[in-house]
């Protein structure tokens, strides 16, 4: 009997798949996995809202039972976040291209400082919430709120950063030389400017999605509805996920 006729050789009936290779590459990345989990976490809140309005309480509860551990896993995955943050902080200080835009560099420094406070506070809250470390309920609440306030500061600074980048991009578009340049060079510059504009637009939408959430979680006893968290979170997660998927091409 041939090798393919044996059950252990069943995979031999299939050909190597570029799509499967791309999926493996995607899921091997913690940031990419986080973006997929974020879409599950936030979109489930929207579905739960519709299910409750339709009287499908049992299904809504089961979906919530999925969303809660997904959100918990995302926090656990962020425990590694300080390492790429430190790497990024070092990199921007040695990036020669940033020397021409000191204003943007200073915004990045402020954002990094906000994350330096955000991560440890969130980690402490998570460890206390799961009773791995001891912390009073009041202190645990303060850790949660202040971690989100630092995150809110980061997102607010990102609006400033994106607005500055957009201003620079508009200037570059005005300064784009057409006369005296060969067609291929001009087209390449136009493609680069378009890609930069698309990136700024995408990151602005992501920021618009996250900003209400940061404010909501920064306020004790906030009345922001859970479906609102789902809608804005889904907006941010969708654009983050689509970009992460395209990056695997």
User: Residue 194: inside a domain, yes or no?
Assistant: no
User: Residue 4: inside a domain, yes or no?
Assistant: no
141 pLDDT above the threshold of 90: yes
pLDDT in tens, 197-209: 999 999 999 999 9
Task: Please tell me the least confidently modeled range out of 54-58, 83-87, 94-98, 155-159.
Answer: 94-98
pLDDT in the model for residue 101? 75
From residue 123, give the alpha-carbon distance in Å to each of 117, 149, 180: 10, 15, 56
Average pLDDT over residues 117-141: 96
pLDDT in the model for residue 143? 97
Computed over its alpha carbons, how large is the radius of gyration of the chain? Answer: 23
User: Residue 62: inside a domain, yes or no?
Assistant: yes
The end-to-end CA distance of the chain, in Å, is 40
In eight-state DSSP terms, residue 219 is S
When comparing pLDDT for 184 and 8, which is higher? Answer: 184
pLDDT in the model for residue 182? 72
pLDDT in the model for residue 4? 47
pLDDT in the model for residue 9? 66
Q: What is the pTM of this model?
A: 0.89
pLDDT in tens, 201-234: 999 999 999 999 999 999 998 999 999 999 999 9
pLDDT in the model for residue 194? 93
pLDDT in the model for residue 117? 96
6 pLDDT above the threshold of 80: no
Average pLDDT over residues 154-161: 97
Concatenated DSSP letters of 76-139: HHGGGTHHHHHHHHHHHHT-GGGGG-HHHHHHHHHHHHHHHHHHHHHHHHHHHHTTSS---HHH
Give percent of the chain with pLDDT exceeding 90.
Answer: 69
User: Residue 242: inside a domain, yes or no?
Assistant: yes
> What's the CA gap between 14 and 118, in Å, rounded?
47
Count the domains in the chain: 1
The domain of 62 spans 19-80+226-249
User: Residue 106: inside a domain, yes or no?
Assistant: no
User: Residue 59: inside a domain, yes or no?
Assistant: yes
Mean pLDDT, the chain, as a whole number? 90
55 pLDDT above the threshold of 90: yes
Average pLDDT over residues 142-168: 96
């Amino acid at each position: 009997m041939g090798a393919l006729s044996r059950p252990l050789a069943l995979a031999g009936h299939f050909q190597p798949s570029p799509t499967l290779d791309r999926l493996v590459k995607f899921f091997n990345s913690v940031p990419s996995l986080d973006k997929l989990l974020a879409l599950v976490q936030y979109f489930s809140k929207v579905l739960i809202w519709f299910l409750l309005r339709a009287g499908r309480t049992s299904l809504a509860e089961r979906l919530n039972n999925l969303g809660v551990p997904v959100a918990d896993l995302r926090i656990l995955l962020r425990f590694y976040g300080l390492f790429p943050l430190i790497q990024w902080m070092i990199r921007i200080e040695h990036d020669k291209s940033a020397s021409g835009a000191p204003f943007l560099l200073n915004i990045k420094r402020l954002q990094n400082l906000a994350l330096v406070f955000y991560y440890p506070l969130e980690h402490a809250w998570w460890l206390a919430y799961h009773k791995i470390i001891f912390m009073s309920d009041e202190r645990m609440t303060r850790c949660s709120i202040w971690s989100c306030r630092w995150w809110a500061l980061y997102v607010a600074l990102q609006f400033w950063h994106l607005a500055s980048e957009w201003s620079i991009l508009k200037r570059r578009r005005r300064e784009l030389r057409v006369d005296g340049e060969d067609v291929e060079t001009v087209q390449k510059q136009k493609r680069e400017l378009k890609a930069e504009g698309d990136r700024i637009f995408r990151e602005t939408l992501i920021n618009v999605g996250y900003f209400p959430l940061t404010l909501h979680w920064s306020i004790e006893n906030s009345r922001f509805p859970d479906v609102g968290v789902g809608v804005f979170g889904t907006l941010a997660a969708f654009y983050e996920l689509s970009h992460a998927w395209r990056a695997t091409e």
